[in-house]
Amino acid sequence: MAGVAAVAIGVVVFVADAFAPLNVAIAVLHVAVVLLSASAWNRRGIQATSLVCLGATLLAYAIAHSHEFSPHAFGRLLLSLSAISITAFLTLKGQAATQALVEQSESLRRSEAFLADTQRLSQTGSFSFKAPSGDMYWSDEAARIYGYEPTVPPTMERVLARVCSGDRAIVRGAFDQALRGDGPIDVRHRLRMPDGETKYVHVLARTIWNRDGECEYLGAVTDVTKATRAEQALHHSRTELAHATRVSTLGQLAASISHEVSQPLSAVNIHAKACLRWLNRPEPELAEVHNTLARILEATGRATQVVARIRSLARKGEPNHVVLDLNELARETLLLVQRELQTQDVTLRVELTNDRAVVHGDRIQLQQVLINLLMNGMQAMRGGTGESLLVLRTVIETEGDVTLTVSDTGPGVAPENEARLFEPFFTTKSDGMGMGLSICRSIVEAHHGCLRLRNDPRITKGATLALTLPPYRSDIATPIERTNVSSVGAL
C-alpha cells in the first residue's frame, strides 16, 4: 500500500508541477513520496525513488518554463531539489539506523536464547546481588535450580527456604559477606526441594563496582548433583576395592599371622603348665605362680594386639584421619610381614629417621599401602640369584615432607614399563591382578601425598618406591582438614 500511495502522489505532484499554473514550489511534495518509499522498499528502492523524484522535478520545470526563464521559478526548483535530496539522505540514514537496531535486537534475542539454552544444558544459572540493599536478580535456570517459577523474584528468604538446615549457616555467612562487599564467594551447599529431592549446588560470585561506589555481585550457581553423586559412588567403589585388596593381602599373610598368634599362645600353654606344677607341690610356690600368671597376661596381651591389628585391616568402614607417627606405623606393619620375610629368606634392613615422622592420615589405609610395597618388593626378588635384601627407610625432606622408601634387589622395572607401573590392571606377574599399586597411589593421593618410582642411575639392580606425605602441623589445618572444611556443604 505504501508503494502504491507513493507512486500515486508522485504522479499527481508531477502533473501539477508541470501543467498547473501555480506559483508555489509544489515539487516539494515529492518529499512525501521519498518518505513513503522508506516503508515500501529497501535502500536501493529509496535511492531509485529519490532519483525519479529529482528527475520528475527537473522535467516538470523544463515543461513549464521552457519558453522563458523565471528567477522565482528557478528558485522554487532549487528549493524542491534541496528538500528532496535532504529528505532522501535523512531517510536513508534513518533506515540504516533502524536496520542496525533491528539487527542488534535480533542478535540480542539470539544471544538470550543461546544463553538460556546453554544454561539449561549446563545446569548453570546466573544471578546478581546488590550490596548493601540486598536486591537480587536471577535467570530462569537459576530459578529452576532452586525450584521456583521464573516469574518469582529472588530474595534471601526464598533461597534460605530451599537450603538444607545443616548448610544454612554456610549460606547465611555467604550472604553476610556479600552484604559487606567482602571479596569473591565460593560456596557449595545442599538444597532440599519441596518433593524431598536433595540437590548439590556450587555458587561462585565476584564483585563489580560502579562509578558511584556501589557494589554488585555477579555470579553463577551450578547444579552439581550428578557430579557429586558420581564422586560419592566412585569413593564408595574405591573403598570397597581397597577393602577387598586388604582382605586379599591378609590371605597372602596367613603364615605370618598364624605365626604371630601362635607364639603368644604357645607361651600361654607353657606358662599355664608351669603354674600347675607350682601349685601341685606339697607347698605351692605362690610367688612363682604369681610371676607366671603375669607372663600369661603379657602373652595374651600380645595375641590380643595381633588379632586387633588383623581385625582393623579386615574392617570395612570410612577413613578415619588421625595424627600418627610413620615410624611407629612401619614398626607395627613389619610385625605382620615378619614371618613372610623369613619364609622367603629375605633380609630386612630398617633405617628409620631419628626425628618424629608425624603425618595426618588413616592408619589402616597407610598400613595397607606399606604392606603392599613390602610384599611387592619380596615378590620381585622371588626366584632371583644373590642376596634378597629389602630396605625400608624414612627421611624428613628439606621442605618438611615425610618420605618412606622401600627398596629391593630384584630385577627392577623395565624402562618401557615405568610409565604404566601405576595403571590399573597392569602387572608383570603371571598371578597378579595389577590393582595393588593403583589402589596404593589412589590412597596416597587422597592423603595429598605422592607415590612414585624412584630410579637411581648409579644402581643397576632393584627398584625403589617412594611414599611422600605432607607433615602434620598443629598450628595450621592440614590439607585433609582444609578439604573437609571447604566441602562441608557438599557432603
Tens digits of residue pLDDT in 4-30: 888 888 888 888 877 877 777 788 888
Q: Is the pLDDT of residue 36 over 50?
A: yes
pLDDT for the residue 84? 87
31 and 23 in contact (C-beta within 8 Å)? no
Stated pTM of the model: 0.48
Q: Is the pLDDT of residue 200 over 90?
A: yes
pLDDT for the residue 388? 86
Q: Is 328 exposed, middle or buried (0-12, 13-18, 19+ CB in 10 A)?
A: middle
Which grid cell is 461?
639392580
Confidence of residue 326 (pLDDT cuts 50, 70, 90): very high
Q: Is the pLDDT of residue 244 over 90?
A: no
pLDDT for the residue 251? 63
Confidence of residue 316 (pLDDT cuts 50, 70, 90): low
The chain-wide mean pLDDT, for the chain, equals 80
| Lowest-confidence pick of 111-115, 168-172, 269-273, 403-407 | 111-115
